[in-house]
């Protein structure tokens, strides 16, 4: 019988996992064969645990197949490597010849190269390389020790390794597929990037709020300073008017005295003129006896008149007054300079403290930027007490002021208040003078069957008409707590929220402008929270009050 020649190529005995000649070959149920170590390592990978599939055809097996050495295939492979079936060793390579990067032992002549991974491959390895990547762009680095592709990553030593490294010096280490490690690291970096971006967004939001908060706080402070300086100017103008009136009184007294003396002199002058006329008539008579008899009745008295002391008056009204006013000016200048410097130092100190606080808050941290917790006890609240005062220019004509304009009550008769654009024309409401843009606390006491409303509003809330736009708590620009003996409710933007806790006659209001909270408390022996509103305030807030007919309300001095 003629001998049969069978053509056998090396790639028929290569493991598709390591691309090397099979070592301890095993055949799995689908018919594909692999090195025993390669298939076990493949199935032990984290993403493959619990899933036993063929690396080539992806067929799943459950339960895990029993791996037994394929003795027939092992003998064929051994014979293939030992007999002449293996291609003879080529002649010594010429200088220009390039050898396969993947072959172990004697390297075969490379028949093609890969531009992506800069590798050179023989016919067998070129085919396996093409089947693996199908022309996709890739970058594979070769192990400098084994000249194999580094397709695994050792998490223990933090370095890429080849399949041979996993079997030898990295045996037992935590190794995963290189692509899997890249995905894990990429996800980790993406998560870190998202976290960092979110932190920066939080800082940006905080800084934008800080800018708005500084503007609102400054606006409220400037408005309050203008109010105080206007009051100071009004006081000075009042004193100037009183001093002017005092000088006019002195002037009228001195002029009256001088005019009385002038009238007396004028009467005596008239009498002298009559006597002088009689003397002129006697002077023309020829009867000497008659002349002598009549001349005895003629009198020309010489009187000394005490003249008003004009020099003394002028000195009093100019010299003394001017000196006293000069002393007053110097005293005021010194006091104003001293107080202004003190206020300026406080403003500068607050600015430096604010800048330092903002600088600290702009640092990216692992936690959110904290803000101080809300006060709990009444002494805590009193640290933020604001001595608010009512603004008569906003008061409805039916409101009557009491207690030095710290209290108001509603009556059925009108007060003759002058027209003012800030005055409420329909609702019995009044606002306070200064706007709030920080942490503030104040208390009010109320009484009466008509009930009251205690709240805050923006300055641009409508003041005219009887619609909800000008009613405290019934529009988007105001918030209020409506109190009566029978019920209590919170009002904002035409929405009403009933308060189940009865409120007492003293109400505490706590505003945290930056935190965006407005809280109402029933104040007695303890602080009982009635309602807390959470929002974002965009303008300084003015405390405001509505007082029902027959009711009264008073600001508490704490």
- Please give the angle made by the CA atoms of 493, 494 and 498, to the nearest 5 degrees: 105
pLDDT at position 317: 61
Tokens describing residue 498: 């009933």
CA distance 437 to 460: 15
Q: Are 154 and 161 in contact, with CB atoms under 8 Å apart?
A: yes
CA distance 194 to 550: 61
What's the Cα-to-Cα distance from 355 to each of 219, 341, 349, 533, rounded to whole Å?
A: 18, 21, 10, 29
Q: Using the structure block, give the residue that is written with the tokens 């800018």.
A: 211
Q: What is the DSSP letter of 413?
A: S
Q: Are 461 and 425 in contact, with CB atoms under 8 Å apart?
A: no
Q: Are 148 and 163 in contact, with CB atoms under 8 Å apart?
A: yes
Same domain, yes or no, for 147 and 286? no
Contacts of 375 (CB under 8 A, 6+ apart): 381, 383, 384, 441, 510
Phi, psi of 520 (to 5 degrees): -120, 135
Distance from chain centroid for Cα 404: 38
CB atoms within 10 A of CB 477: 21
pLDDT at position 365: 38
CA distance 488 to 16: 80
Give the residue ranges of DSSP H helices in 365-474.
Answer: 378-382
Same domain, yes or no, for 151 and 243? no
Domain harbouring 408, CATH code:
2.60.120.920
- Classify residue 309: in a domain, yes or no: no
pLDDT at position 64: 85
- Classify residue 329: in a domain, yes or no: no
Of the three residues 237, 267, 300, the one that is the final residue of a domain is: 300
Tokens describing residue 373: 């917790």
CA distance 217 to 205: 18
Q: Are 80 and 87 in contact, with CB atoms under 8 Å apart?
A: no
Q: What stretches of 36-173 adopt beta strand conformation (E)?
A: 52-53, 60-61, 112-114, 119-121, 152-154, 159-161
- Please give the angle made by the CA atoms of 438, 372 and 515, to the nearest 5 degrees: 45
CA distance 70 to 333: 109
pLDDT at position 471: 95
Q: Strand, helix or coil at 283?
A: helix
Of the three residues 30, 64, 82, the one that is the final residue of a domain is: 82
- Classify residue 227: in a domain, yes or no: yes
Of the three residues 268, 300, 332, the one that is the final residue of a domain is: 300
What is the full per-residue pLDDT of the chain (558 aa) written as tens digits? 444 444 455 667 788 787 778 888 999 988 889 988 888 888 887 777 677 888 888 888 888 888 888 888 888 888 777 664 444 344 344 444 677 877 766 778 887 777 566 677 788 877 777 776 665 556 667 777 776 778 889 999 998 998 889 888 888 899 998 888 989 999 999 999 999 999 888 888 878 877 877 787 777 778 778 877 888 888 888 888 888 888 888 888 888 888 888 888 888 888 888 888 888 888 888 888 888 887 877 777 766 667 766 655 655 666 666 677 777 777 887 877 777 777 766 666 655 555 555 455 444 333 333 445 778 889 999 999 988 999 999 999 999 999 988 999 999 999 999 999 999 999 999 999 888 888 899 999 999 999 999 999 999 999 998 899 999 999 999 999 999 999 999 999 999 999 998 888 999 999 998 889 999 999 988 899 999 999 999 888 999 999 999 999 999 988
Q: Are 547 and 553 in contact, with CB atoms under 8 Å apart?
A: yes
Q: Which residues pair with 506 in a beta bridge?
A: 445
Same domain, yes or no, for 155 and 285? no
Same domain, yes or no, for 417 and 509? yes
pLDDT at position 86: 41
Q: Are 381 and 509 in contact, with CB atoms under 8 Å apart?
A: no
Split into its structural domains, the chain has a count of 4
The per-residue DSSP string of 394-406 comes to: G--TTEEEETTTT
- Classify residue 397: in a domain, yes or no: yes
Same domain, yes or no, for 439 and 527? yes
Q: What stretches of 155-314 adopt beta strand conformation (E)?
A: 159-161, 175-177
| Beta strand pairing call for 541-547 and 429-431 | antiparallel
Tokens describing residue 13: 């005995």
Same domain, yes or no, for 399 and 442? yes
Same domain, yes or no, for 442 and 535? yes
Domain harbouring 70, CATH code:
3.30.40.10
**Domain with 74 in it:** 10-82
Q: Which long-range contacts (CB under 8 A, 24 or more apart) does 344-353 make?
A: none
pLDDT at position 350: 58
Contacts of 439 (CB under 8 A, 6+ apart): 384, 510, 511, 512, 513, 514
């Amino acid at each position: 019988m003629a001998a049969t020649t069978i053509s056998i190529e090396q790639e028929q005995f290569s493991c598709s996992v390591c691309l090397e000649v099979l070592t301890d070959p095993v055949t799995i149920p689908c018919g594909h064969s692999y090195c025993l170590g390669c298939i076990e390592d493949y199935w032990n990978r984290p993403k493959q645990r619990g899933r036993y599939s063929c690396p080539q055809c992806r067929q799943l097996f459950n339960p895990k197949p029993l791996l037994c050495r394929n003795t027939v295939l092992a003998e064929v492979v051994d014979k293939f490597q030992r007999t002449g079936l293996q291609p003879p060793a080529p002649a010594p390579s010429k200088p220009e010849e390039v050898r396969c990067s993947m072959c172990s032992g004697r390297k075969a002549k490379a028949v093609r190269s890969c531009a992506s991974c800069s590798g050179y491959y023989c016919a067998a390895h070129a085919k396996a390389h093409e089947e693996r990547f199908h022309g996709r762009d890739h970058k594979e680095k070769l192990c400098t020790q084994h000249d194999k592709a580094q397709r695994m990553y050792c998490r223990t030593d933090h370095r890429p390794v080849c399949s041979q490294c996993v079997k030898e010096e990295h045996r037992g280490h935590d190794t995963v597929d290189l692509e899997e490690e890249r995905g894990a690291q990429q996800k980790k970096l993406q998560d870190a990037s998202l976290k960092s971006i979110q932190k920066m967004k939080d800082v940006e939001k905080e800084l934008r709020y800080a800018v708005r908060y500084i503007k609102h706080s400054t606006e409220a402070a400037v408005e309050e300073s203008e109010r105080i300086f206007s009051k100071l100017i009004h006081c000075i103008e009042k004193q100037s008017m009183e001093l002017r009136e005092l000088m006019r009184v002195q002037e009228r007294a001195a002029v009256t005295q001088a005019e009385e003396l002038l009238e007396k002199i004028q009467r005596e002058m008239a009498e002298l003129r009559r006597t002088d006329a009689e003397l002129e008539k006697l002077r023309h008579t020829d009867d000497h006896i008659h002349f002598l008899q009549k001349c005895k009745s003629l009198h020309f008295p010489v009187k000394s008149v005490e003249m008003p002391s004009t020099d003394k008056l002028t000195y009093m009204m100019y010299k003394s007054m001017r000196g006293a006013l000069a002393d007053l000016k110097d005293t005021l200048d010194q006091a104003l300079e001293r107080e202004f410097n003190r206020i300026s130092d406080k403003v500068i100190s607050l600015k430096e403290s604010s800048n330092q606080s903002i600088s600290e808050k702009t640092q990216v941290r692992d936690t959110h930027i904290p803000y101080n917790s809300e006060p709990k006890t009444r002494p805590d609240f009193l640290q933020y007490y604001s001595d608010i005062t009512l603004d008569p220019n906003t008061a409805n004509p039916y409101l009557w002021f009491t207690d030095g304009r710290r209290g108001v009550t509603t009556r059925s008769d009108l007060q003759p208040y002058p027209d003012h654009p800030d005055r409420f024309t329909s609702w019995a409401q009044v606002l306070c003078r200064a706007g709030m843009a920080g942490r503030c606390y104040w208390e009010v006491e109320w009484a009466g069957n008509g009930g009251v409303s205690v709240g805050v509003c923006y300055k641009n809330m409508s003041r005219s008409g009887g619609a909800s736009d000008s009613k405290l708590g019934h529009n988007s620009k105001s918030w209020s707590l409506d109190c009566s003996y029978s019920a209590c409710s919170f009002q904002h933007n035409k929405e009403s929220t009933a308060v189940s806790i009865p409120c007492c006659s003293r109400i505490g209001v706590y505003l945290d402008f930056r935190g965006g909270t407005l809280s109402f408390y029933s104040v007695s022996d303890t602080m009982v929270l009635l309602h807390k509103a959470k929002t974002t305030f965009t303008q300084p807030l003015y405390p405001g009050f509505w007082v029902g007919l027959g009711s009264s309300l008073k600001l508490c001095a704490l």
